Amino acid sequence: MIQLDIFSDPICPWCYIGKAYLDRALEANPNHPFTIRWLPFMLNPAMPAEGMDRREYLEGKFGGKQGAVDAYMPVVEHAQKAGLKINLEGIQRTPNTVDAHRLIGWAEVEGCQTAVVSNLFKAYFVENRDIGDREVLADIADGCGLDASMVLRLLNSDSDKREIVERDAAARGMGINSVPTFIVAQQHAVPGAQPPELWAKVIEELNSGALQGSAQ
Residue 111 lies in a domain: yes
pLDDT of residue 210: 72
Residue 182 lies in a domain: yes
Q: How many domains does the chain have?
A: 1
pLDDT of residue 164: 98
Rg (Cα) of the chain, in Å, rounded? 17
Nearest to 41 by CA among 64, 63, 18, 74: 18
Q: Tell me which residues of the chain have a pLDDT lower than 50.
A: 213-216
pLDDT of residue 212: 57
Domain that holds residue 24: 2-208
Pairing of strands 52-53, 34-40: unpaired
Rounded to the nearest angstrom, the gap between the alpha carbon of residue 93 and the centroid of all alpha carbons in its chain is 17
Residue 71 lies in a domain: yes
Residue 216 lies in a domain: no
Helix, coil or strand: residue 209? coil
Residue 112 lies in a domain: yes
Residue 214 lies in a domain: no
pLDDT of residue 216: 41
Q: Around 58, how many Cα atoms within 13 Å sit in the side-chain half-sphere?
A: 19
Residue 97 lies in a domain: yes
Query: What CATH number should be reported for the domain holding residue 164?
Result: 3.40.30.10
